[in-house]
Amino acid sequence: MSNIQKVTDAIVAQGMLPLYFNADENVTIEVLRAIYKAGIQAIEYTSRGETALSNFTKMVEVRNAEMPDLLLGIGTIKNLQQAEEYLKVGADFFISPGFVPEVAAFLIPKDILYSPGCMTPTEIIAAENAGVKFIKLFPGNMLGPDFLSGIKDIFPNLRFMPTGGVDTTAENIGGWFKAGVSAVGMGSKLISKQLMADKDYATIETETKKVLELIHFIIKK
């Protein structure tokens, strides 16, 4: 099985991709442990601050020691230099807020999953022609499930995952899966800044478990 397929299967199996960033290394690691304990097999850490690279390097170290089956992805990749830096420290997959052709050309021949953010059919076509198979619909709350329903038939070979404003309610998540997504990206609605500030890792674990169960219930319906 290819590496791209392995990562795709892991994200699709859990039906969601939790994503977060915290400037503090300890908080970053404890959140990682909490969502892993909840049953998560693939997560996205967003490269949104000066400490992101060093924090991610530490995450890889902890993952290798404690959670060898966990896939660690890096998000908010906007240029080739970032992609090179994070590949060097061990990122398993890469996600961008928009489509970056140089990043696709760098990663896809290496059999590494690259999921760019797209919000128009033109962007999706460009990404598909560059070899991308997994599209992030971003920002999800602006596009909505109706957007995907309207374009999905044009792209039968692609998988879609909305990120940005996806809520933890059955109505919101159910609407997306009905429209045909393979997974939903869950950020601040799941791992909120407040929960991280309070270091309330038990609640992060519990909430992640709840959303996982909800998604699996929706998928089976």
pLDDT digits (tens, 9 = 90+) for 154-210: 999 999 999 999 999 999 999 999 999 999 999 999 999 999 999 999 999 999 999
Q: What is the pLDDT of residues 122-135, one digit of tens each?
A: 999 999 999 999 99
- pLDDT of 36 over the 80 cut: yes
- pLDDT of 147 over the 80 cut: yes
CB 166 within 8 A of CB 174: no
Q: How confident is the model at residue 116 (pLDDT cuts 50, 70, 90)?
A: very high
> What distance in Å separates the CA atoms of residue 114 and residue 186, rounded to the nearest whole number?
18
Q: What is the pLDDT of residues 61-85, one digit of tens each?
A: 999 999 999 999 999 999 999 999 9
- pLDDT of 221 over the 80 cut: no
What residues are paired with 73 via a beta bridge? 44, 93
Q: Record the tokens describing residue 106, joined without a space.
A: 């760098």
- pLDDT of 220 over the 90 cut: no
Q: Record the tokens describing residue 120, joined without a space.
A: 């128009």
Q: How confident is the model at residue 106 (pLDDT cuts 50, 70, 90)?
A: very high
- pLDDT of 109 over the 80 cut: yes
Instruction: Tell me the domain boundaries of the chain.
Output: 3-213
- pLDDT of 52 over the 80 cut: yes
What residues are paired with 161 via a beta bridge? 136
Mean pLDDT to the nearest integer, 45-73: 97
Which of the residues are catalytic?
44, 136
pLDDT > 70 fraction of the chain, expressed in percent and rounded:
100
- pLDDT of 26 over the 90 cut: yes
pTM for the predicted model, two decimal places: 0.96
Architecture of domain 3-213: Alpha-Beta Barrel (3.20)
Across the chain, mean pLDDT equals 97
What is the 3 state secondary structure string of the chain? Answer: CCHHHHHHHHHHHHCEEEEECCCCHHHHHHHHHHHHHCCCCEEEEECCCCCHHHHHHHHHHHHHHHCCCCEEEEECCCCHHHHHHHHHCCCCEEEECCCCHHHHHHHHHHCCEEEEEECCHHHHHHHHHCCCCEEEECCHHHHHHHHHHHHHHHCCCCEEEECCCCCCCHHHHHHHHHHCCCCEEECCCCCCHHHHHCCCHHHHHHHHHHHHHHHHHHHHC
pLDDT > 90 fraction of the chain, expressed in percent and rounded:
98
- pLDDT of 48 over the 90 cut: yes
> What distance in Å separates the CA atoms of residue 98 and residue 47, rounded to the nearest whole number?
14
> What distance in Å separates the CA atoms of residue 80 and residue 96, rounded to the nearest whole number?
11
Q: What is the CB-side half-sphere exposure of residue 68 using CA atoms within 13 A?
A: 1
Mean pLDDT to the nearest integer, 142-157: 97
